[in-house]
Structure 1
Amino acid sequence: MTKIDIKPIVFEDPSTVKKIINKHQDIYVNDAFERQIKELFFIDNLQFIGQDKTEVCKSPEFNKYRNKKKDDFLYVYYPWNYSLVKCVKEADYFRLKTNRNQDLITAEEQKRLRDYKVAVFGMSVGSNIAFVLTQSGISKNITIADFDELDTTNLNRIWAGVYQVGLNKCVIAARRIYEDNPYAKVSALTKGISSPQLENLLKSKKIDCIVEEIDNMLLKIEIRKLAIKYKTPVLMVTDNGDWAVLHIERYDLGYKKFFEKDVDYWRKRLRQYDPRKDFADIVINQIVGGPDKVDSRMLLSANKVIAKKLVSWPQLGSAALLGGIAVTVAIKRIVRGESRERFIKEYLYPISRLD
């Protein structure tokens, strides 16, 4: 069985560079370090802002700074795309990666966001969420889960390429995260998530927040039962045509319901559960909030799915990206302590009016 690489290889021994280059003649080598040192210099020496960068980089001050930093690098090798990068070490990389967030996110807030551990279950819409979180410098330690493999029909909403068709969605997402941040810590559950697995993760405090984007209704409820037990917030985005619905269930603040219904309701509702018929009904009525809240074209499509005239629910890439943005903003507000509402259902419109 062919080994599937998910993580990059990070090392500092120059002899390893030679071995990799000798083994892979067509390898792409990028010395990002030289540019990164220049960026760091201006961050650490604000008095040079606005001056000609070429001239500043000839100055004694810059040469002194570069000499001081000359050994502060590591090599990062991405075996899945044969790329080798000379890169600053983790602390400096984090500073570079998040510098342009300031002060929309302060340095102190950024550290708290980095240390906040998010789990994202379901790598269709969830892959967009996981990547926007990573891009924002949130959740260095991130858990992602999906048993499914990429199909061409997924490419309308998942950041992937046709060359990755057949690859596990978790692997694709993990690689993308590591390409954005080689120092990330991704726990990729390529067989999906189960109740016992989740309980172990929650019990060992490896998760601070759950983003749930799976299609299995029974597992959705089990996840929320465990979230109540371990006082863990759950966020979920449901796309609805060009827009989406965001659910925030603050089980960390004592919320006890699932989609605004109590446990007894769901016990009865799921007693004779038919995924093809009942899932659509639950999404339309409980999750979105009734047919009047559902995009008319989405409603038509849902009826076609039930009648077996359409293979599956439609999902747009624009709505998936909107979900990634909404969840990222919501998690920032939770970590900052700006939001204390125990339950939020938010209807997300990318454009309120288009004349």
Structure 2
Amino acid sequence: MTPLDHLGVPAPETPDWHVTAFLGPRPGDDGRPMLDAVRGLRARILFDHGHRPAFLRADGTHADDQDLDFGAWHFIARRSPGGPPLGYIRLSTPDTGARFQSRDFLGDRCYEELLAGEGFGAADVFEHSRPVVEHRARKLGLGLHLNALAIGAAHHLGARAMIGTSGTKDGQDRFHERFGFRPVRGTRRYVPQYTEDVVIMLHRVADGAGRHHDLVTRLRDEFPVIAAAGAAPLLPVPPVRRAARVTPTGTTSPDRETWRPVLHTAAELDALLASGNVREVHDTIDDQLTELVRSREPQCRDRVGIERKKREQLAGAEPWEYGTWAWYPWSGRLVHVLPREEFRLVRTDRNRGRIEWPDRQRLFGKRIGVIGLSAGNSAALTFALEGIGGAFRLADLDGFGLSDLNRLRGGLHDLGVDKAVLSARQMSEVDPYLDIEIERAGLTPETIERFFAGGLDLLVEGCDTPWVKIAAREYARDLGIPVVMDGNDRGVLDVERFDREPDRPLLHGLLGDVKSVDVLDLTARARTELVLAMVDAGRISPEPAASSGEPGRTLSSWPRPASGVALGGALCGEAARRILLGLPCESGRFHTDLGQQLHPSRNVYAEGPA
């Protein structure tokens, strides 16, 4: 049963994809040009604008040369037959088992002992790579489709088992568990090339394909047709350009679409600068290197010593060649920053003494979902500033309007930009290395599966729609994801530890056994009554209680001043950090009432300083 089945809503189908496949040549055979093209495609996506520098050659080209490519099946996905390639996956057969990544990862002896312990021989086992998907196609379910196709192809080709290495930073291991894979105990370790922990995953064909068994079965039957059609040429992917259009007056209208910075190496700067898309260049790398030295050695204050250590850090490179150049298409700014780990070490240095570097690294390895980006914008930006999370999924369907400026950080020039886009921009301007995906349609029965795909370590819920509040918690509870919510009134913070309490009632049981399917269509009055039940009407402040029936009548929406939203972001940040680091943070509803905190009776100096 899928998570949507119990909502009474059919699970969304993945879009139709045009997939081509070819069997890689043997070493020395013809077919090498196609294989080289696939390697370049794969490496370019994995490089991810600088997130994984190991996939960039010195000459500026991308390559991921692996002997395992020879004799393996290669699948390339497009939205249409003539479109650019958007995703890739490889399926290795037992004929190439001596070169399997999982064998190399474990070593021959441990690999063979693992198979023997599971009752398999080398001829029974296939290996598929991780799906490699362009950012713009990830939210469309292409990774899920490619993964299902590789598994289905292996089933068709007679596999009894599948094995593979899976990353853990972005929840890829949990993603594979949804296909019936399980992690092999004792195999998790850090792999520098992928900049994350990697674990071995194993799948028994006889046990089915988990939650996506039907999709795997359909693609298993389609594999012979795909294989018979053969390969298609890889089309060049057009470069990312700054989105703009010309208004009737001849001026350029603002970019309201892009939210992801483009990360460049120094070798790519000439072409970027020649494009005319760079409006400002900000290069403070020398000051950043100074801060790097002082972050590592706070006692080092000697100017000569600092300059020597900076030269050692550059290791012969020119300062302009060092680190990453982040280009922000919506503003035209080009900013020079330290490499990712050094950048984050310095950027969060003032957390030291409260959050030490090992814990900061753990936090950067977490994926966080944020639903509702009015109040949620404060939480998301607080997380980005403090370094809570390295990957985010943001969902909101509304645009940024003038009345949002009472609480949502932005400027007049941002009016008309989607709140999800605005939040992603603000976060990436704090840290260009963040991995941010957005759902501009908000959470609906059609998008909710996509939002949770691949797993989350924490969910922040800050929306007004009853269906979303309940459905998101149903998913979180099903997947074991803790939830925090800012109630905005009297400093209310909700914590629901579904990671520890899988049977915990939603919203502390305030709504009884109500299901999301029950609240899809509510009258305005029923909606107000439900929201009041959620917030526990007897405990809210007099002002919101008095105006509870006024939204849509004398009020345009629920009142939410900036001070309450800012406090909510801080409370969510504190709770999130505690949960993600395993510090004490129990389920419950907590009040940090500023009105009570500022009451004269709480003045510690009411009778004068001690």
Secondary structure in structure 2 of the residue aligned to 1:248: strand
Contact 1:37–1:66 (8 Å) recurs in 2: no
Amino acid at match of 1:16: L
Structure 2 counterpart of 1:295: 541
Superposed, 1:5-154 pairs within 5 Å as: 5-14=258-267, 16-17=269-270, 19-20=272-273, 23-24=276-277, 27-49=279-301, 51=302, 53=303, 57=306, 60-67=308-315, 70=319, 71-154=321-404
> Which residue does 2:407 correspond to in 1?
157
Residue 61 of structure 1 deviates from its aligned partner by 4.6
The CA deviation string for residues 69-96 of structure 1, in whole angstroms up to 9 with x for no partner, is 6443121111111211121111111111
Residue of structure 1 in register with 2:588 after alignment: 344
| Structure 1 residue matching 2:287: 3-state secondary structure | helix
| One-letter amino acid matched to 1:234 | V
1:252 and 2:499 equivalent?
A: yes
Q: What is the CA distance between 1:310 and its match in structure 2?
A: 1.8
Report the secondary structure of 2:397's partner residue: coil
SS at match of 1:222: helix
In the superposition, the TM-score normalised over structure 2's length comes to 0.52
Moved more, 81-90 or 116-125: 81-90
> 1:29: Cα distance to partner?
1.1
Shift of 1:336: 2.0
Q: Encode CA deviations 1:22-63: one digit per residue, 9 max, x unaligned.
A: 6147x21111211111111122334414x5x5x655x54554
Scaled by the length of structure 1, what TM-score is found?
Answer: 0.87
Alignment RMSD (CA, Å): 2.6
User: Residue by residue, what CA displacement relative to the aligned partner does 1:211-256 show, whole Å, maximum 9, x if unpaired?
Assistant: 111111022111111112111111111112xx32111111111242
**SS of equivalent to 1:48:** coil
Q: Which moved more, 1:16-25 or 1:82-91?
A: 16-25
Work out whether residues 256 and 262 of structure 1, in 8 Å CA contact, stay in contact via their aligned partners in 2. Answer: no
Structure with the larger RCO, 1 or 2 (CA within 8 Å, 6+ apart): 1
Q: Distance in 1 between matches of 2:515 and 2:352?
A: 47
**Which residue number in structure 1 is paired with residue 509 of structure 2?**
261
2:440 is aligned with 1:190? yes
Which of 465, 471, 475 in structure 2 is aligned with 1:216? 465
Contact 2:467–2:519 (8 Å) recurs in 1? no
**Residues 312-353 of structure 1 deviation map (CA, whole Å, 9 limit, x = unaligned):** 211111111111110110011112222363x31001223612
User: Would the aligned equivalents of 1:119 and 1:210 in 2 still touch at CA under 8 Å?
Assistant: yes
- In 2: Cα distance, 1:295 partner to 1:218 partner: 24
Tell me, what secondary structure is at the counterpart of 1:304?
coil
Q: Which amino acid aligns with 1:337?
A: G
Percent identity over the alignment is: 22
Distance, in Å, in 1 between the alignment partners of 2:584 and 2:446 is: 30
CA distance in 1, matches of 2:308, 2:398: 55
Q: Which runs of 5+ in 2 are unaligned?
A: 1-242, 245-254, 601-610
Structure 1 alignment gaps of length 5 or more: none
Q: Does 1:181 align with 2:431?
A: yes
C-alpha contact 1:116 1:139 (8 A) present in aligned 2: yes
Q: Measure, in 1, the Cα distance between the counterparts of 2:347 and 2:300.
A: 20
Which amino acid in structure 2 is aligned with residue 320 of structure 1?
V
Q: Which residue type is aligned with residue 183 of structure 1?
A: Y
Kept in 2, the 8 Å contact 1:150–1:168? The answer is: yes
Judge which range, 271-280 or 248-257, deviates more.
Answer: 271-280
- 3-state secondary structure, aligned to 1:221: helix
SS of the equivalent of 1:252 reads coil
Decide whether the 8 Å contact of 1:203 with 1:230 is kept in 2: no
Over 3 Å counting, the alpha-carbon distance change for 1:68 and 1:320 in structure 2 is farther
Paired amino acid for 2:496? E
CA contact (8 A) 2:508 2:588 kept: no
Contact 1:72 1:88 in 2 (8 A): yes
**SS where residue 167 of structure 1 aligns?**
coil
Q: CA deviation at 1:126?
A: 0.6
Q: In the TM superposition, what is the alpha-carbon distance from 1:301 to its structure 2 partner?
A: 2.2
Question: Alignment partner of 1:299: what SS?
Answer: helix
CA–CA distance in structure 1, aligned partners of residues 467 and 520 of structure 2: 11
Matched to 2:588, the amino acid is I
State which drifts further: 190-199 or 131-140: 190-199
Paired residue secondary structure (1:34):
helix
Structure with the higher fraction of residues in helix conformation: 1
Q: Secondary structure at the match of 1:303?
A: coil
Matches of 2:507 and 2:558 in 1, distance apart?
Answer: 20
Matched AA of 2:258: D
Matches of 1:262 and 1:13, distance apart in 2:
56
Distance change (3 Å), C-alpha of 1:265 and 1:44: closer
Structure 2 letter corresponding to 1:11: H
- Number of aligned residue pairs: 343
Preserved contact between residue 31 and residue 86 of structure 1 (Cα < 8 Å): yes
Q: Secondary structure at the match of 1:16?
A: helix
Distance 1:46 1:151, change over 3 A: closer
Map of 1:314 onto structure 2:
559
User: Is residue 236 of structure 1 aligned with residue 236 of structure 2?
Assistant: no
